[in-house]
A and B are shown apart, each in its own frame.
Chain A
């Protein structure tokens, strides 16, 4: 059954391999710089590497938007995404899985009464708009530099072509890596929370986490898409978008891949933060839209020729229609799954309101006046809790999200043995490890309670001042706290 549920995600992977990968090596094939077999092997290897090494960043962003916690729900979210993309592409819109999945996740949030994190959503929306423009900018610069170099170079034409082929290999590898890193979240991201897998230990140091197993499966489904269908799409893509010279098509794919890479790489995030710059949000974006932006960038580099502004309008409409359509389809399918097929599309969560919880959410900037005369209460599901909060007058989704976060009941049992066994001294500081040891046998009902306790025992659990330089370090710290949570969580 588990494998059946995964099929919708794997189908999404297949479509990424079949369609998006075609965008990456389409031009190299149509200009016959590479043979299909070479392009397919190259992109398969790099898409798997990208997904396994850099796939986490974007997956986390999707997870923070909506934590789909039952596998039948994940299946439905992925299925509605696939359906939406299929239906809208047939209508000639430039749509992408990246946009459809967001709508479907929000659909799941609405169906289950879970709050949506508007901060993550805003980040995602901004990234969609930024990605084609950035891709245009990058490809403009790449194209301009490449042309200047070629025009001034005294290298023989045949050698230039030789280097061009080498550059095509690099661009395809980089594009496949970036696509794997950026889009694996679309393929299996919604299955991470409800993953049926458990850790696989190869040696005591090398453990393959459930998320990594999912990433691998997703990447394999992309590879299957490359081998079974991408050839058909490359033929249309190569001729439709890329009636350009080999140089311009390479520059455009390189530009688009750079954008995907920037929107997925934690290393770039760390580097940018390190020099005091704000980083790019790690968000799945659409390679097709980035390439369209990139081709327009090349058009500008060539002095404004070849620019079809209508296509920008089509992308813009896609940004609105795609998530809306997938949201609605997801709602309908979730209803059918739950009521017709009797499947659990979400796991009910427990919540409680009491003084400590109210104090905590007040710290997070939520006005708590409405709770003044409320007795300690427990809630058995998201719907019940949302209904209660709505009655109290909380209608802002932002507050709802924070209250949900503070009131969610989970059980944690601290065990100092874990600190010895699982806390790698290369990852955690000695102060952090010692603080965990001191917490032996303590139990907590809320995640924030565990965090607060950790912070009270060691200052090394506390966030650093909020400046760009510390952004990445704080994120890393949050991940470490999350690891501790996962260790102590009682299921």
Chain B
């Protein structure tokens, strides 16, 4: 009976992680649509990520209540809840970035499109690896380390790309300073998603040490 409830909860945790992963992919796609001026598709992505984020929030709350009600040993419970919450923050950041594109409509010159797409790709790769790390924390402990390392690698890559892109933006002769500063913020926002993924991995490393150290 209790084991059945546990199994159901496992499925819900998996679904939650699916949603975060999905959010990352939608973000990547949304940025591409924006840069390619495919407005309709971009708006669809926006709706999509909004719904995903709402669903994930509801799911997270259900999971948290259930965890408190009847499953985990409390000492682990805190770690798991913290992990899920920080994972949710990654999804929130993805949604936030896409909404900022929609609200502020930054005028990004075409020459920077590729760099923005690369940056989004790398940042979302960090999210993908982070999700894999969280999944392995739950069910395949030995893979946690590998996945954390991959996440950290992509986070660093994303930092490098962001740094280069910012330099390129400010070296550009055709943009005025306000334009440069505006599109610079979007570099910062996209890069921040990888940072959020890194934060999850930092938490994960501690949780692993606490559990198996």
Contact = CB atoms under 8 A, between A and B. Distances in A.
Interface of A: 31-33, 147, 150-159, 161-162, 164-165, 245-247, 302
Nearest to B136: A154
A246 B211 CA distance: 9
Given A32-B75, A150-B141, A159-B7, 11 more contacts: A32-B74, A151-B141, A151-B142, A153-B141, A155-B139, A156-B6, A156-B138, A157-B138, A158-B13, A162-B2, A245-B213
A420 B83 CA distance: 74
A65 B212 CA distance: 46
Interface in B1-31: 2-3, 6-7, 9-10, 13
Interface string B126-156: 0000000000011111100000000000000
B138 to A, nearest CB: 5
* Among A31, A154, A156, residue most surrounded by chain B Cβ atoms (within 10 Å): A156
B160 interface: no
A159 B10 contact: yes
B138 A33 contact: no
Contact of A151 (B9, B80, B212): B212
Given A150-B141, A153-B141, A158 B71 contact: yes
A150 B211 CA distance: 10
A152 B60 CA distance: 28
Contacts of A157: 76, 80, 137-139
B73 interface: yes
Given A32-B74, A32-B75, A33-B73, A158 B9 contact: yes
A156 B139 contact: yes
Interface in B191-213: 210-213
Contact of A161 (B7, B71, B137): B71
Interface of B: 2-3, 6-7, 9-10, 13, 71-76, 80, 137-142, 210-213
What DSSP secondary structure best describes chain B's contact surface? helix
A162 B1 CA distance: 11
Contacts of B213: 245, 302
A476 to B, nearest CB: 44
Q: Which 3 pairs between the two chains have the least Cβ-Cβ distance?
A: A32-B74, A157-B138, A156-B139
Contacts of A246: 73, 75-76
Nearest to A152: B142
B159 to A, nearest CB: 31
B210 A154 contact: no
A162 B3 contact: yes
B211 A158 contact: no
Contact of B6 (A150, A153, A159): A159
A157 B76 CA distance: 10
Contacts of B72: 158, 161
B22 to A, nearest CB: 21
B75 A31 contact: yes
Contacts of A162: 2-3, 6, 71
26 contacts: A31-B74, A33-B73, A150-B141, A150-B212, A151-B142, A151-B212, A153-B141, A154-B140, A156-B10, A156-B139, A157-B137, A157-B138, A158-B13, A158-B71, A158-B72, A159-B3, A159-B6, A161-B72, A161-B76, A162-B2, A162-B6, A164-B73, A245-B210, A246-B73, A246-B75, A246-B76
A86 B23 CA distance: 64
Contacts of B6: 156, 158-159, 162
Contacts of B211: 245, 247
A282 B9 CA distance: 47
B207 to A, nearest CB: 10
* Among B2, B72, B210, residue most surrounded by chain A Cβ atoms (within 10 Å): B72
Nearest to A305: B213
A68 to B, nearest CB: 46
Contacts of A164: 73
B157 to A, nearest CB: 30
Contact of A32 (B71, B73, B141, B212): B73
A157 B6 CA distance: 10
A158 to B, nearest CB: 5
A459 B212 CA distance: 60
Contacts of B3: 159, 162
B75 A245 contact: yes
A157 B139 CA distance: 6
A127 B186 CA distance: 72
A164 B10 CA distance: 16
A157 to B, nearest CB: 5
A453 to B, nearest CB: 63
A162 B71 CA distance: 7
Nearest to B143: A154
Nearest to A158: B6
A153 B137 CA distance: 11
A158 B138 contact: yes
B78 to A, nearest CB: 11
* Among A154, A157, A159, A302, residue most surrounded by chain B Cβ atoms (within 10 Å): A157
A365 B10 CA distance: 71
A30 to B, nearest CB: 9
A152 B137 CA distance: 12
Contacts of B138: 156-158
Nearest to B211: A245
A156 B139 CA distance: 4
A31 B77 CA distance: 11
Contacts of A151: 141-142, 212
Contacts of A150: 141, 212
A302 B209 CA distance: 12
Contacts of B142: 151-152
